[in-house]
Each structure stands twice: as C-alpha cells, then as structure tokens.
Amino acid sequence: MRAEAEKLGVKLIFQWANDSPTAQASQFENLLSQKVDAIVLLPIDAAAAATLVQEAHQQNVPVISYDVDMPGAKLDFKVTRDNYGVGVLQSQAALKFAPHGNYALIKGDPANNVAHLIADAYAKYLTPNKDIKIVYDQFTTNWDPDRS
C-alpha cells in the first residue's frame, strides 16, 4: 500500500491500536478531525466499528474495510483475502511438519469472522485426523493471551 501510495503521490497515515477497540475509536475520530479523504479500517470490534463508519459517512469520508466484516455498516468498499484458504494452508503446513501428535489450536478473537473462517478449516482438516490429538482448542478474546 505504501509503495503504491508513493507512486500516486498520496500521503498515508498508519496507526495501530494494539487490539484495543477504544484506542481504535480514538484514532479513527482523530483521523476524521484531520479531514482525511478516506479511511482503510481493519476493525478490532466489528460491531463498534459500524458506528465509526456511520460517523465517517456523516462527514462524507469513505471507509474501506480490510478483511473483517462489519455487520450493519454500509461500507464503501471491502478488501479481503481467502481466510478459509489461510486455515487450509496452515493446516497443511502443520500436518507436513508434524503429521501426528498433540496439537494446540489457539484461535483468534471469537468476535472476528476471520478467526472463525480459519477455525472452520482447522475443524475440517485437523480435528477429524486420527493421527492428531487436539489437546487445546480455544478462541482468544481480543487476541489477548491472558484471556485464553
């Protein structure tokens, strides 16, 4: 994104909220106060982010979602990858590395559709495998290791 922006003479502002919906909302509102032309958002909390999209639209700022669905939000555009395919590739690589044994499935935030799509692939390719014993299988709220 940065390389393409440089080619086009577009100024990008990157911010990371460290997986905090509160910090993300603050950053989002700060960007709106700077009168940005558009916002690309990777929502931490999809439900809360829908409200942010509404705020942006009230100021005629288009919002592009990257990779996470935001139910209830009228997005201007969405960019995504094949997250189920990511889970398939991860499963295949894990099975190639360790074709049998104990597996721990440490999954992403349960409120995030990306985590569910990847987990669906795990369920299809790892869980029924008779050479694999799943010893841990949990989602991780807010990607916080202290909550798993």
**pTM of the model as a whole:** 0.71
Instruction: For 111-140, write each residue's pLDDT tens digit.
Output: 888 899 999 999 999 999 999 999 999 999
Q: Look up tokens 């509102």; give the residue.
A: 29
Domain shared by 122 and 110, yes or no: yes
Same domain for 64 and 100: no
pLDDT greater than 60 at residue 39:
yes
Choose among 59, 54, 117, 111: nearest CA to 88: 117
Number of domains in the chain: 2
Which residue range(s) make up the domain with 124? Answer: 83-147
Residues 49 and 112 in one domain: no
Q: Is 148 a residue whose pLDDT tops 60?
A: no
Of 50, 79, 108, the residue that ends a domain is: 79
Phi, psi of 4 (to 5 degrees): -65, -40
**What are the tens digits of pLDDT across the range 83-110?**
999 999 999 999 999 999 999 999 998 8
Spatial separation of the C-alpha atoms in residues 26 and 29, rounded to whole Å = 5
In a shared domain, residues 45 and 89: no
Binning pLDDT at 50, 70 and 90, where does residue 67 land?
confident
